[in-house]
Structure 1
Amino acid sequence: MFAAIMLALGAPGAPVTKEPLAATPYTLSNSVEQVVHAENGEAYRVMIAWPEGPPPPAGYPVLYVLDGEDNFAIAALTARRLARAGARTGISEGIVVGIAAGPLPRRTRDYTPATPGWTIPANRPASGMATGGAEAFLDFVERQVQPLVRQRWRVDRSRETLLGHSFGGLLALHAALTRPAMFGGVVAVSPSLWFGDGLIAHEAAVARRSPRILIAEGDGAAASPAELARSLDGGENPGRVHFLSLPGQSHGTTMLAAMAPAIRFAFSGVER
């Protein structure tokens, strides 16, 4: 009997079956993926997950997640889990939209603002790649992705949030500071504040207003996201900019560590 069990479990010496598993791919309920073409011809995979329950009177909040191929399923399942325990978490149901970045050169271009005369230094990630496509990408999100979601579901436009990590965090801050009406909030996780030799700090210095902002960072950041949060949390934005410290987390792990706080930031305080 023991030998039979070990053979079934694949013990050393057990024959290796070449028969395909009688299984079906795992799918996420209440979700859809479609390809959306930008005005420049680029094709983007857009994934959307929505709740089963009816929307609140003002509409669902929406969380737009960059690098959707990596982060969409995690964000959607985490949001659903937290919403099921809403009485304890204070988190309501919402729509999660993932936008796939695609190949690294396109991601680098799409997520970076224009910096005439400046290129990524040799010692930095994505050195040698083209940059400066942030405006075209944000136009794509504003003109095509947001309307796509709003046409199908009732959405609370004051509760639309953009979440990004690294260059995605840079893009989220750029959107908040230069297009403050586009989102009700942004979450920037380990934003690449080094990009453009202080570009975001300059934009923060001249910005008159911004939506709600959450900046999250782990250990060893080259620039000071906490200092940026303090500088933004004043003037016309008192109490609207927050910093989340993620001790023990590196640049590569901060997005996962910040996922639940980002969802709380996006989906809490919505009446049912």
Structure 2
Amino acid sequence: MALVSALAASAPAALPAMAAPWQLERSDVETVTSPDGHGYRVMIAWPEGEPPAEGWPVLWLLDGDDNFAIAAMTARRLERAGARSGIQPGIVVAIESGGLPRRVLDYTPPAPGYAIPKGMPAHGLATGGGDAFLDFIDRNLRPRLAARFRIDPHRQTLMGHSFGGLLALEAMYQGRAYSRVVAVSPSLWFGDGVLAQAERQAGDAAGAVLLLASAPNESTFANNGSGDGEALVTRWQASGHAARYLPLPGQSHGSTMLAAIAAGIAAAFGEEGR
């Protein structure tokens, strides 16, 4: 009897039958259907109080299912620091990427005749839907957000990682309605120079401020006309655009987005972005 009592005392407590899930205040999740019938979960987090007269700035975040919670909580923590951080209130909009086939399709620019080579990430998957996905944000998600919140059309930031970083650069070169672009470890190897061509064709409308971040010696770069990330930033500066390279030592391709989240938030919501 004593042994049974001792075992019972040492056993872990039973979990509550109805444990409450963790929730993020002032947030919402909705599903928005694109013109081709695909449903995207869109996660939104907004600040307390009334927006400023010009509206809240917006951070559009790709791979939203992975990055929403950490970005929203980091933005709020930095905002609470006030003048010490220089971070103002803003809205985080994170778009779910879906499964790998959909992500690869949505985050890669059109490259006629190109197929991802063997041995490279996502070999064999369809590519080239990036323009349609950017149109979906511009024509569907942006008006939907503006109908719900007062947003500042002049402070819109797009942030993405890997293929998402590639898409962010494509949006910048096309002169899409983003004031800032944050490209983390962009997949510059994609498309046999398609991004370099977009860079050459970028006109005066391509005026977004660029922040490009990567770890040293990442395999996301290749000698295909795009060079490496730091060289891309140098070229963009030389053409008269504001740009900055952020090295992320000690990181790998899989960890660079997490390491760059605070810098992305500063680009979107910082005082210098006003």
Q: Deviations over 1:201-245 (max 9, x none)?
A: 2211221232111100012223210000100112342xx111111
Q: Say whether 1:219 aligns with 2:216.
A: yes
Residues 5 and 202 of structure 1, relative CA distance in 2, 3 Å threshold: farther
Give SS of 1:227's match: helix
Aligned pairs for 1:94-113 within 5 A:
94-113=90-109
Q: Which moved more, 1:217-226 or 1:94-103?
A: 217-226
Aligned equivalent of 1:193, options 188, 193, 207: 188
Task: Please give the secondary structure, in 1, of the residue aligned with 2:133.
Answer: helix
Residues 79 and 87, structure 2, Cα contact 8 Å, conserved in 1: yes
Identity of aligned residues (%): 51
Distance 1:7 1:98 in 2: 46
Correspondence 1:144-163 to 2 at 5 A? 144-163=140-159
Structure-2 residue corresponding to 1:206: 201
Number of positions where the alignment pairs a residue of Structure 1 with one of Structure 2? 262
Provide the TM-score with structure 1 as the length reference. 0.91
CA–CA distance in 2 between the matches of 1:257 and 1:118?
32
Alpha-carbon contact 1:220-1:250 (below 8 Å) kept: no
Question: Residues 208 and 236 of structure 1 are in contact (CA less than 8 Å); yes or no, is this contact kept in structure 2?
Answer: no
Q: Which position in structure 1 is the counterpart of 2:248? A: 246
* Structure 1 partner of 2:131: 135
Alignment-mate amino acid for residue 218 of structure 1: A
Change (3 A) 1:90 1:35: same
TM (normalized to structure 2)? 0.90
| Residues 267 and 273, structure 2, Cα contact 8 Å, conserved in 1 | no
The CA distance in 1 between the partners of 2:6 and 2:64, in whole Å, is 41
Cross-structure match for 2:34: 38
State the partner residue of 2:232: 228
Q: From 43, 51, 56, give the equivalent of 1:55.
A: 51
| 1:59-84: CA deviation from partner (whole Å, max 9, x where unpaired) | 10000100111101111111000001
Question: Whole-Å Cα distance in 2 between the matches of residues 5 and 32 of structure 1?
Answer: 47
* 8 A Cα contact 1:92 1:270, kept in partner: no
Unaligned runs of at least 5 residues, structure 1: none
Q: Which amino acid aligns with 1:125?
A: P
Tell me which moved more, 101-110 or 262-271.
262-271
